[in-house]
Structure 1
Amino acid sequence: MSEQHWSKTQERGSYIGMQFLLGVYKLFGRRVLWLFMFVVVFYFYVSGRKARYASLDYWRRLHKFDSSQPKPGFGTGLKHFCTFADSAFDKIDAWLGRITPAQLHYQNQHVFDDLVARRQGAIFIGSHLGNLEVCRALGMRHQNCVINVLVFTEHAVEFNRTLQRINPNVSVNLIQVSDMGPDLAILLKSKVEQGEFVVIVGDRTSTSAVGRVHYASFLGEPAPFAQGPFILAALLECPIYWLFCTRRGDGFDVQFSHYSDALSLPRKTRQQALAQVIDDYAQELQRVALQYPYQWFNFYDFWQRDEDSVRHKEK
Structure 2
Amino acid sequence: MSSEWKRRREGGGRFALSLIRNIGRCCGRTPARALLYPITLYFLLRRGAERRDSRAYLSRVFGRPATLGEVARHIHTFAATILDRIYLLSESTRRFDVRTEGLPTLHRHLEAGRGVLLFGSHLGSFEVLRVLARQRPDTPIRVVLDRAHGRAVTELLEALNPEVAATVIDAGADGPSVALAIQGALTQGAMVALLVDRSQEGGATLEVPFFGAPAPFPVAPWLLASVLKVPVMLAFGLYRGGNRYDLVFEPFSEGVDLPRRERMHGVAALICRYAARLEHHARSAPYNWFNFYDFWKRDARASVADALPAAGDAVPGSDLERGADS
TM-score (norm 1): 0.87
The reply on whether 1:204 has 2:198 as its aligned counterpart is yes
The answer to whether the 8 A contact 1:239-1:261 is kept is yes
Give the % identical residues.
28
Counterpart CA distance in 1 for 2:168 and 2:162 is 14
SS in 2 for 1:305: coil
- Alignment map for 1:11-50 (pairs within 5 Å): 11-50=10-49
Residue 157 of structure 1, CA deviation:
5.9
Q: Which residue of 1 aligns with 2:185?
A: 191
1:126-185, Cα deviation, whole Å (9 max, x unpaired)? 000010101135424423322221113514565344234334454661122236633322
Rounded Cα–Cα distance in structure 2 between residues aligned with 1:17 and 1:40: 9
Q: Which amino acid aligns with 1:218?
A: F
Would you say the 8 A contact 2:229–2:256 is kept in 1?
A: yes
What is residue 10 of structure 1 aligned with on the other side? Answer: 9
How far does residue 35 in structure 1 lie from its aligned partner after superposition? 3.4
Q: Measure the CA separation in 2 of the matches of 1:47 and 1:136.
A: 33
> Is 2:148 aligned against 1:154?
yes
Query: Distance between the aligned counterparts of 1:78 and 1:101, measured in 2?
Result: 26
The answer to whether the 8 A contact 2:23-2:32 is kept is yes
Aligned to 1:225: 217
Q: Distance in 2 between matches of 1:81 and 1:7?
A: 19
1:289 to 282, 292, 297: 282
CA deviation string 1:66-90 (max 9, x = no partner):
x6xxx50111101110010001122
Which residue of 1 is the match for residue 205 of structure 2?
A: 213
User: Residues 6 and 149 of structure 2 are in contact (CA less than 8 Å); yes or no, is this contact kept in structure 1?
Assistant: no
Name 1:300's counterpart in structure 2: 293
Distance 1:202 1:87 in 2: 19
Root mean square deviation, CA, Å: 2.4
Partner of 2:138: 144
Structure 1 window deviating more from structure 2 (147-156 vs 55-64): it is 147-156
Provide the rounded CA distance (Å) in 2 between the counterparts of 1:57 and 1:162: 31
Change (3 A) 1:3 1:141: closer
Where in structure 1 are there 5+ consecutive unaligned residues?
A: 309-315
Post-superposition CA distance 1:277-300 (Å, at most 9, x none): 000000000000010000100000
Count of aligned pairs? 300
Structure 2 residue 165 is matched with structure 1 residue 166: no
Partner residue of 2:322? none
Residue 261 (structure 2) aligns with = 268
- Could you say what secondary structure the match of 2:300 adopts? helix
Residue of 232, 235, 242 corresponding to 1:243: 235
SS of 1:139's equivalent? helix
Asked if 1:252 is matched to 2:252, the reply is: no
Aligned-partner SS, 1:307: coil
**Alpha-carbon distance between aligned partners in 2 of 1:39 and 1:25, rounded to the nearest angstrom:** 15
**Structure 2: stretches of 5+ with no match in the other structure:** 302-326
Deviates more, 1:262-271 or 1:174-183: 174-183
Indicate the SS of the match to 1:297. coil
CA contact 2:121–2:197 (8 Å) conserved in 1: yes
**Cα displacement (A) at 1:112:** 2.7
Cα distance in 2, alignment partners of residues 288 and 116 from structure 1: 25
Whole-angstrom distance in 2 between the partners of 1:101 and 1:286:
29
Corresponding letter in the other structure for 1:95: L
